[in-house]
Amino acid sequence: MNNITTPAIKVIKADTSKLKDVDFNNLAFGANFTDHMFECDFKDGEWQTPTIKPYGNLVMSPAAKVLHYGQAVFEGMKAYKDDNGDVHLFRPQQNIERINKSSKRMAIPEFPEEIMMEALKQLVALDKDWVQPGRGNSLYIRPFVISTQVGVSASPSNAYKFMIIMAPVNAYYTGDVRVVIAEEYSRSADGGVGAAKAAGNYGAQFYPTNLAKEQGFDQVIWTDSNEHKYLEEAGTMNVFFRINDTLITAPTSDRILDGVTRKSVLKLAERAGINTEVRKLTVTELVDAAKAGELKEIFGSGTAAVISPVSAFSYKDVVYDIDKQDDSYATKFKNDLMDIQYNVSEDPFSWRVKI
């Protein structure tokens, strides 16, 4: 292997590439990983030498605290290749700030922002051939932090590992989804870690989501844990509701993730002159709007799926179908976002970061 040292990041290049072994037309989401990964350990009270190295397995003690107390956070972001072969990140500073916010909530030391940004740029540049052209194709980027101190005492770790791994992906959802509104289970609670991208938030969703799938639905729209009265998120996404021509989404809080795509949709809606309301929306209001024919759309927003339209929702065993709209906001925002991400249109917000 060739060792190259930069002022900030040590780079160890892989001898050979796995690129030729990947069928890019048949990718399982997040199952095939690029040739390199980023790694940096925290010990003795400080972050050590940041390193890009060949992708490979970790050797870890069975007593590592992450395995016992779930002290782990992560992010999800993407790189896109335009028609000129140039690669761009989409709003990476937002993800950098949010993983540190998540880390703080989970008692994990924050990672230096400037090193994280440089790591992202160098890692994507090194594996840029893994970013496939074409709308819907992208490189999914997963930064994460785990606690690695050996010991099973119930206390914050004094050692951590920050990593970035990357996987080429196709479109996450290819069609509309059907959802059930939660009446018993909750994604998060007041004072909890719902606003953090903590690993345990997602593991706890799997069981109620499986129950929804057994009923023929794809995802759950989560409600508040106190009364199951207010609509909050959809699966692992933020959620929007179009009632007549007003777009409504829940305000962020310590229960609701401050989604990058969510913020981008709100900006695009403002620029398009679409009326938006960031407020609590009750299940009763949603059902009444559906019955009155005023509910035009529901869609989720997130990095993986971008925009995911909802074709029907169920509440108290009653299914409410949602007709497709000729002037669909979901379609408009998805196209607007992807035009910016793939460098097809202007970027009035300076969201693109060219590698």
How do residues 22-33 score in pLDDT, each as one tens digit?
Answer: 999 888 888 999
192-219: pLDDT as tens digits: 999 999 999 989 899 999 999 999 999 9
268-288: pLDDT as tens digits: 999 999 999 999 999 999 999
Do 139 and 204 lie in one domain? The reply is: no
251 within 8 A of 278, measured Cβ to Cβ: yes
* Band (173; pLDDT cuts 50, 70, 90): low
- Predicted pLDDT at 19: 95
Q: Which of 113, 146, 169 is the last residue of a domain?
A: 169
Q: Which of 105, 135, 169 is the last residue of a domain?
A: 169
Do 150 and 186 lie in one domain? The reply is: no
Q: What angle do CA 272, 275, 280 make, to 5 degrees?
A: 135
Do 243 and 269 lie in one domain? The reply is: yes
316-353: pLDDT as tens digits: 999 999 999 999 999 999 999 999 999 999 999 999 99
- Predicted pLDDT at 25: 87
Do 162 and 248 lie in one domain? The reply is: no
Do 133 and 13 lie in one domain? The reply is: yes
Residue 263 lies in a domain: yes
Global pTM value: 0.94
Element (H, E) at 270: helix 260-272
Do 211 and 77 lie in one domain? The reply is: no
* Band (111; pLDDT cuts 50, 70, 90): very high
Residue 28 is given by DSSP the state P
Do 129 and 267 lie in one domain? The reply is: no
Residue 158 lies in a domain: yes
- Predicted pLDDT at 175: 76
- Predicted pLDDT at 211: 96
Residue 105 lies in a domain: yes
- Whether the per-residue pLDDT at 6 is higher than 90: the answer is no
Residue 351 lies in a domain: no
Do 162 and 188 lie in one domain? The reply is: no
303 within 8 A of 77, measured Cβ to Cβ: yes
78 within 8 A of 38, measured Cβ to Cβ: no
Do 198 and 157 lie in one domain? The reply is: no
Least confident among 3-12, 63-72, 242-251:
3-12
Residue 14 lies in a domain: yes
Q: Which domain holds residue 244?
A: 177-341
Q: Which of 150, 169, 188 is the last residue of a domain?
A: 169
- Predicted pLDDT at 247: 98
- Predicted pLDDT at 5: 46
Tokens of 103: 């880390």
- Predicted pLDDT at 100: 98
Nearest to 18 by CA among 166, 172, 171: 166
Do 156 and 194 lie in one domain? The reply is: no
**How many CB atoms are closer than 10 A to CB 44?**
8
β-bridge partners, 318: 315
Residue 353 lies in a domain: no
Residue 308 lies in a domain: yes
Do 260 and 335 lie in one domain? The reply is: yes
137-163: pLDDT as tens digits: 999 999 999 999 999 999 999 999 999
Residue 348 lies in a domain: no
Do 288 and 187 lie in one domain? The reply is: yes
CATH of the domain at 240: 3.20.10.10
CATH of the domain at 12: 3.30.470.10
SS3 assignment, position 204: coil
- As for how many domains the chain has, the answer is 2
